[in-house]
Structure 1
């Protein structure tokens, strides 16, 4: 048995004869990437600086008084419309798929500025108009009291009207877009989902948090990122992990002690708080973000949400995206390179193949030849693999062989 605590000689041999050097040597290429990042003077472009042939809608953080003022103005406008005999209707920005655009200069998805009417008098939209009015009132109350609630709390204030939480959640996004503010400015947050562990400390609403002392479960990422201050770290990189199982393995193995890093996960599809937290870490610490996701189209879609934004929240992509994440693994080319057993490779479904082909048609994928090559390899082989496939060589193969070799070789794209 190797002294590396769990990765046996057979597992090391399966790394195709390559040997893992000491931690300092393993991290040389990561540190070079970090130095390059810190020395770069690239200024993030904004929509206002681009001469686009169409107008776009973006939102900004606003304080409670400003948002309350926007809500009151919206209701005055509705009241004036009713008094003028034109009826009760809201002008709501359209977040339809046809209005979502990828802008190469910004390297993210944006929302074109198009507005649709939501009249109360129409049978098709009267319920949505009622829900919109109710949620405007609830948000105004929250801001007036300066308190925060979860989206679930909001749903339970009027279950009969909202019917399903997905409906009240969608209206919240409509309202943020309509009022020109981020969703967090509405004082409605998602339940805690993401977790972080490793070489990171910060203050949360004044309380000191040391993420090295949070056990294998990690520290829940705060739903209100504005209360996170005094971020400090000696990490060389941030490791973004798709799944909770891989996060737990790395946390339990104290991977961050040998290879100084911050490890975080949203346990699947990324939530707003995790995306905001990642962006805040990246902009504060100026260290690389390396991503570990499943070798399948959905792993790449999850990664794309962190990097380019989601269609659903394209109006807030400037605040939610971290464009320069590096795809570390698990990549389709890794399956043969690391001799992943055939029984651990899963056949792609027809839906997987369709999703992969749609990804290949995305402009941001086309602009990266290495991503195209990996996706084409996946579609040609018609197989996928989860991060857990690495466990076929031993439970600690991920932390003691696979990741150290990938870091040592600078094998990211």
Structure 2
């Protein structure tokens, strides 16, 4: 870590910091601490090198995720392209401040080893930093910048999405210290897939299904469940109501 605290913010573009899994809270906090120390050292140096800062370069070519969906990696970066933004421009300055505000909010969450959804984080930031955050989109972009700059997953920062996925069919699920859920008996609404990846890892699952059927449209999923397709074809039905979130994948 010592080598990362140079006169410039090389920490943010150091490819060695890439990881292939969710970081433990202590390591995520350490990366935030190193980012702060790097910034302060650059700020207080005789020749400050912070007039330009690397943030995500959002263009049409990298605005959609096209990597990581079919790999063994448990997370994906939303963008891999960086641009330098001058602090002399008001918009770039605010974007950079938003990144620090997100890290400031995530640090105590990591300290308590808790989780918040992006929506919860938006309301927290709206209460404490309303001059910098006025919409959910600004929070989402700031989270993307933070994830890319710290080279870790969003979940590593204690941020999770609200669960969107549903599952139904020949599957028995049991959460720790809870009753067994029969996904054949959940009705057309199905069983909601939690956005908490830690909880998903602890699920006990039993099935005699021979197929997993992925359904893009929620309405089609409901129709198939109503028709009890999983009794005709021994299967498990899964939908994410469109583009799949990480928990559903």
What is the TM-score of this pair, normalised by structure 1? 0.48
Pair 1:170–1:111, CA change in 2 (3 A): closer
| Matched position secondary structure for 2:23 | coil
Pair 1:189–1:111, CA change in 2 (3 A): closer
Q: What is the aligned residue count?
A: 220
Structure exhibiting the larger radius of gyration computed from Cα positions: 1
| Matched position secondary structure for 2:55 | strand
Q: Distance in 1 between matches of 2:151 and 2:21?
A: 7
Q: Distance in 2 between matches of 1:66 and 1:102?
A: 25
- State the match for 1:225 in structure 2: 197
- For 1:294-305, what aligned pairs fall within 5 Å after superposition? none
2:142 aligns with one of 171, 181, 190: 171
Pair 1:64–1:128, CA change in 2 (3 A): same
1:124 aligns with one of 63, 72, 91: 91
Contact 1:78 1:88 in 2 (8 A): no
Q: Distance in 2 between matches of 1:183 and 1:190?
A: 9
Pair 1:213–1:129, CA change in 2 (3 A): same
| Matched position secondary structure for 1:135 | helix
| Matched position secondary structure for 1:196 | strand
Q: Distance in 2 between matches of 1:113 and 1:238?
A: 32
Which blocks of at least 5 consecutive residues in structure 1 are unaligned? 1-54, 276-413
1:247 aligns with one of 218, 221, 245: 221
- For 1:155-194, what aligned pairs fall within 5 Å after superposition? 155-159=122-126, 160=130, 161-194=132-165
Q: Distance in 2 between matches of 1:224 and 1:169?
A: 18
Q: Which has the higher contact order (CA 8 A, sep 6+)?
A: 1
The alpha carbon displacement at 1:82 in A equals 0.5
Pair 1:133–1:140, CA change in 2 (3 A): same
| Matched position secondary structure for 2:90 | coil
Q: Deviations over 1:360-401 (max 9, x none)?
A: xxxxxxxxxxxxxxxxxxxxxxxxxxxxxxxxxxxxxxxxxx
Q: Which deviates the most, 196-205 or 140-149? A: 196-205
2:169 aligns with one of 195, 198, 223: 198
Pair 1:205–1:140, CA change in 2 (3 A): farther
What is the TM-score of this pair, normalised by structure 2? 0.76
Contact 1:194 1:266 in 2 (8 A): yes
Q: Distance in 2 between matches of 1:149 and 1:111?
A: 19
CA RMSD of aligned residues (A): 3.1
Q: Distance in 2 between matches of 1:267 and 1:112?
A: 23
Whichever structure has more helix as a proportion of its residues is: 1
The alpha carbon displacement at 1:225 in A equals 2.3
Q: Distance in 2 between matches of 1:116 and 1:63?
A: 29
- For 1:302-341, what aligned pairs fall within 5 Å after superposition? none
